[in-house]
Amino acid sequence: MNPSLAAQGFAAMGSEARLDVLRILVRAGESGLTVGEIRERSGIAASTLAHHLKFLSAAEVVSQEKVGRSIVCRASFKHLERLAGFILSECCQDADRGLKPKVANDG
């Protein structure tokens, strides 16, 4: 995965409200939820929710589909799996070579 695309995906999840919305959609599964259902479950005002969904959609962690008069939102599970794979792809490689992690100085 391109580091720039990964950074965009992680940035989209970098707000507590957007992370809550994403978790609501992950729990809903592949069928997703309408914007109204997300609003009911999250308690986020409609205009604020629209902003968060736009941000999540632009980062490709959420997809949106117009169904009749409603918009159904779904977590983009494949993209989320790629993000997890990106961040974990080098897990423990330094430990396996006996390297110690660098620690930043506090002062």
pLDDT of residue 25: 98
pLDDT digits (tens, 9 = 90+) for 56-83: 999 999 999 999 999 999 999 999 999 9
Q: Tell me what percent of the chain is helix, strand and coil, each rounded to the nearest 5.
A: 60, 15, 30
Buried/exposed 46-73: b ≥16 CB within 10 Å, e otherwise: eeebeebbebbeebbbbbeeeeeeebbb
Q: What is the pLDDT of residue 103?
A: 67
Can you list the domains of the chain with their CATH numbers? 3-96 (1.10.10.10)
pLDDT tens per residue across span 21-58: 999 999 999 999 999 999 999 999 999 999 999 999 99
List C-alpha distances in Å: 24 to 6, 20, 63, 99.
21, 6, 14, 39
pLDDT at 93: 82
